[in-house]
Structure 1
């Protein structure tokens, strides 16, 4: 095991040197880069556009926070003069931990190379579940730099590692999406590849700010950057979110067992887990079997954050306890009532009183270590069905889910979350509505 770790370190060092030589900047090396992210209203998926290939073509991709690597449908219409397959035994194949080799019997093309044996990966559609089989590929990508307040010049990285997939893997995606952008904790995840390519002051860190409204861009930042947003009602007034006093921190955990649909023995999960000690409703703890909040030796349990799950999913006993406490706090003093459920939600209510933080309901909180709290208000706890009907935006995940709590995208909207991979730390803001800001208030 020690020898394998040493060999991977040498490979990563070599790839960093190559990437540093091949990274092309418009001026100096960037300290931060960004991608826009938008919400698809029909699928409630978060999508971005990555410029890839020569000539550069924007590919629409579903954002997968915990995805092992980026994968793209190469079966139709992928043409690029800078495309390269990953030859078996090469440094990129070793870095991606792929030792499966194969040839394609059809004419050579991206995703199907005959000249040499190429190493293969298992791209996964984490929206609907299917796992595919595709070669490791490399091509040029271009991403805009930023000073934290607006987009800057494009910066390019050659030999960006991703996986080719077929169109059979694109099931239940937002219209036009051709793959998934993998932001997971992996040597070939996008955040680590960018940090390796630009080196120096480019930190292995990224932040997501998901928009709550369709047709409005939120933003994903890469590297170390201020996060400067304008006010909802006054574009001349700006706030650097990285300086907010209510920015809180908690530890990130690694699940020692892979949570991917197809994995190798001993492979760790690339998803982002956090340590939740309790859940509060109206500032009072609910009843929870605390063993569910820890990851056991088979990789079950615990709490992770996801952009693929549209709503937070709770193990059944946790879900029942949350709903019971919510209704006990909601009905007596709020003069509201339960109404007919609306799929996929079980618990829907009349809700007519609105505040600057969304519909007026009892607050919910995740409590992390050292009593660090993430308070969730109506804008993130409830889903509007009509003007006077809202549903609790939490789903019942059954009695034995792989992960006990999956904090979903609706609960992340208009919150900024910063993932520091080097320090194993998550920073989060709670809702930016406190500051009169939405994630769509970055200047694109």
Structure 2
């Protein structure tokens, strides 16, 4: 952790001042807010419409309850064919319908909290987003494809949240439609999720490339990169090639193929903005919890707090064992104490990792808590995933990013 802190401090204090003129003409940005009702993060489109950030969602979904007619996407179009390719694997095949005697494309969305599937009209319209270009503070995108979903599909979403912004590595995802080559945008997006410890409850999302101005520093200099890999059975997810997990510098003794895909496409290591805490398949979790328990044997245990199972009595001098995720290319994601533990009261902190069970679909799902107060970049064009150290190590937070002129 000391090396990570030193590196972050060196990069953060380096002379990498970012002026307004340096911004790409089309760097899109928005504040990210953690919703107090549902464990979701949202950002703004169309000036005042909040959309739930779902990095495994295949496309943009918007609530449509006004009864107004909308343009149809023909059933035989290439766009409609793409909706079939990226149909959520949890849902049955989608059936088209007829509108004014013409075959109109239907698509299906999966609501991850109540685990509901709902099909409705696939359509298109105009969407706008803030830009960091002084000459064009807002950019409007014409003919953005989206799934028009009525209530009750989104009935459990908090007031003001009008839809779901799917950010999966798919042709119809939100980032892919907002990063059009003719506008000079790169095929990437970056995300900084705010933590509960951040009083402003603000984070940031960027589309189309950086720089990402954190105070007067371009935070791209703080990123380490590893490869994004594909799973042909799970096209809507981002996967990382993890090699090992260490606790206090000691790597867990796991099966050689513990993080690999199996013949059905299960397994692997992915990321989620739906899963609150990192979830480990049982065979991995049991070895992990044993190592963590051994490393904290001198700290008093306290009763568990659902859903967290392993809780400790915390004090002013509370020392948390280090947790490292080591990728196949040697890059290491150091999980800070703020991201490995969840403080549930003044004197209780719980390990923010869960047992996913023997039949978990993935070996590891890196959850929201582990990504909070950390800049992550999905460079889909280069198949690369960038991650910073915890911004708390440099006395900064996600709320310090510039998202407005």
Alignment match, 2:377: 418
| Separation in structure 2 between the aligned mates of residue 41 and residue 281 of structure 1, nearest angstrom | 32
Preserved CA contact (<8 Å) 1:31 1:225: no
Q: Distance in 1 between matches of 2:218 and 2:245?
A: 29
Counterpart mapping for 1:236-385 below 5 A: 238-244=216-222, 247-258=223-234, 269-332=235-298, 336-353=299-316, 360-385=319-344
Change (3 A) 1:190 1:338: same
Give the Cα–Cα distance (whole angstroms) in 2 for the partners of residues 395 and 219 of structure 1: 27
Query: In the alignment, is the contact (CA less than 8 A) between 2:44 and 2:129 conserved in 1?
Result: no
Aligned to 1:20: none
CA offset at residue 45 of structure 1?
A: 1.3
Deviates more, 1:285-294 or 1:28-37: 28-37
**Does the 8 Å CA contact 1:218/1:439 hold for their aligned counterparts?**
yes
Change (3 A) 1:402 1:151: farther
Written as runs of structure 1 = structure 2, the 5 A alignment for 1:108-187 is 113-114=99-100, 116-146=102-132, 153-170=137-154, 172-187=156-171
Match of 1:212 among 195, 208, 217: 195
Secondary structure at the aligned position of 2:381 is classed as coil
Q: Is the Cα–Cα contact under 8 Å of residues 315 and 397 in structure 1 kept in the other structure?
A: yes
Aligned to 2:27: 32
Which is further off, 151-160 or 218-227? Answer: 151-160
Do residues 224 (structure 1) and 197 (structure 2) align? no
1:243: how far off?
Answer: 1.8
CA distance change for structure 1 residues 29 and 342 in 2, over 3 Å: closer, same or farther? closer
TM-superposed deviation, 1:308: 1.0
1:61 and 2:39 matched: no
Q: Match of 2:48, SS?
A: strand
Q: Secondary structure at the match of 1:128?
A: coil
* Residue segments in structure 2 that go unaligned for 5+ positions in a row: 1-22, 86-93
Aligned to 1:440: 399
SS in 1 for 2:382: coil
Tell me the residue number matched to 1:54: none
SS class of match (1:371):
coil
CA–CA distance in structure 2, aligned partners of residues 35 and 296 of structure 1: 38
RMSD: 2.3
Is 1:87 equivalent to 2:74 in the alignment?
yes
- TM-score scaled by length of structure 1: 0.78
1:421 deviation in Å? 0.8
| Closer, same or farther: CA 128–328 of 1 in aligned 2, 3 Å | same
Tell me the equivalent position of 2:63: 73
Contact 1:380 1:411 in 2 (8 A): yes
Counterparts of 1:14-25 in structure 2 under 5 Å? none
- Residue by residue over 1:333-378, the C-alpha shift from the partner in whole angstroms, topping out at 9 and shown as x without a partner, is xxx2110111111111111236xxxx63111111001221100121
> Conserved in 1, the CA contact under 8 Å of 2:249 and 2:322?
yes
Tell me how far apart the structure 1 counterparts of residues 316 and 279 of structure 2 sit (CA, whole Å): 26
Question: 1:403: which partner in 2?
Answer: 362
Deviations 1:175-225 (A, max 9, x none): 4323211000111001211223x5253110111111113752211111121
Q: What is the CA deviation profile of residues 49-92 of structure 1, one whole-angstrom value per residue up to 9, with x for unaligned ones?
A: 221xxxxx733221101110011221x23758xx4221222343
Q: Secondary structure at the match of 1:370?
A: coil
User: Partners of 2:251 and 2:290 in 1: how far apart?
Assistant: 12
User: Secondary structure of the equivalent of 1:292?
Assistant: coil
* 310-319 vs 284-293, greater mean Cα deviation: 284-293
Q: Take 2:203 and 2:136, find their aligned partners in 1: how far apart are those partners?
A: 16
Cα distance, 1:172 vs structure 2: 4.1
Q: Which has the higher contact order (CA 8 A, sep 6+)?
A: 2
- In structure 1, runs of 5+ residues without a counterpart are 1-27, 52-56, 104-112, 231-237, 259-268
